[in-house]
Amino acid sequence: MSTQARIPLSILDLAPVAEGSDVATAFSDMVTLASHAERLGYRRYWLAEHHNMPGVASAATALLIGHVAGATKTIRVGAGGVMLPNHAPLQVAEQFGTLATLYPDRIDLGLGRAPGTDQPTVRALRRYYEGADAFPHDVAELINYFEPVEPGQLVQAVPGGGIEVPVWILGSSLFGARLAAAMGLPYSFASHFAPAMMTEALAAYHQNFRPSKRLREPYAMLALNVVAADTRAEAERQFTTLQQMFAYLRRPGQPGKVPQPVDDIHSVVTPQELAAVGQALSCSVVGDAKDVAEGIADFVEKHRPDELILTANLASVEARMRSFEIAAGAWGLEGSGQGAA
């Protein structure tokens, strides 16, 4: 296995709430999955902020990060990400300063520019999407709260000042790539659901990167859907959960819980919907251990990320655990107990 092939793998989770299940079960499954990921050798376990979605229970992202960090020992735990337009930078600094004090050298803070919800929910959050235009300023303000406190400083994060909290910029367009480059921060691209500008964004990030005291060289992470099972047929069946989710998001009305897999995706999703879903989920690897080893290797060889963050938003925690287990083994992660052939 080449040096490039040995890049770290991480996990992005949404604390999914499946049909027939509830939020309490999702939280229990989240801890089970994070502990499993730690044993397998994954580097990070990130949770994403979403609101007003019955199938996603990770709205109170900082609280869940603390819960997961307290139930694990070594894996890095973080936000992938906090949607900064929904929050005051000082409050985020205080939350993550607290987390980093409780769990030193284990907390990551990824920041996104979108609200992660619809307009009525944005209004209910008492913040406004126009605030996204202030995103660069808000990021700079937040980072400044992590700097050592200066004499006479009028506002400080307590805790937060002088605490090491790695800050990432998340994005699905050139905006985030250029901001991360200008600020000298690591960058994570949402290729698992918005792959259209991935190549251009990576190029913009590397070409425009300016070293900072936080990061001397560019560091880019790409997201990849990986649905692995013991057979290709079972993996393709589990993948129908993702296909349904993305199709249903495009239909009028509120999104529901995470759907159970089906034997025939064409029985519940139209050809037009499936074509659109196929574009959104084009950065996906689906199959058995051999398929996954080859698929991840091809993706890494083509796009050259420094790290991959995998997601498998499936209805069953057992299916998710098995998927990440197979991926870890196929990639040869320490702790997986096996490597790719």
Is 299 within the bounds of a domain? Answer: yes
Identify whether 59 is part of a domain.
Answer: yes
**Structural domain count, the chain:** 1
What pTM did the predictor assign? 0.93
Q: Is residue 337 part of a domain?
A: no
Res 340: pLDDT: 36
The SS3 of residue 279 is helix
Q: Strand 284-287 to strand 307-311: parallel, antiparallel, or no bridges (unpaired)?
A: unpaired
Q: Is residue 187 part of a domain?
A: yes
CB-based contacts of 269, cutoff 8 Å, min separation 6: 243, 244, 247, 277
Q: Which domain holds residue 121?
A: 4-331
Model pLDDT, residue 132: 57
Q: Closest by alpha carbon to 227, among 309, 314, 300?
A: 314
pLDDT, one tens digit per residue, over 68-87 is 999 999 999 999 999 998 89
Q: Is the residue at 338 inside a domain?
A: no
In a domain, 218, yes or no: yes
Q: Would 336 be classed as within a structural domain?
A: no
289 has pLDDT over 60: yes
CATH number at residue 268: 3.20.20.30
Distance CA 332, CA 337 (A): 8
| Residue 298 token pair | 């091809």
Q: Is residue 341 part of a domain?
A: no
Reported as a single tens digit per residue, the pLDDT across 117-172 is 666 766 776 655 455 578 999 999 999 999 999 999 999 999 999 999 999 999 99
Residue 286: beta bridge partners? 227
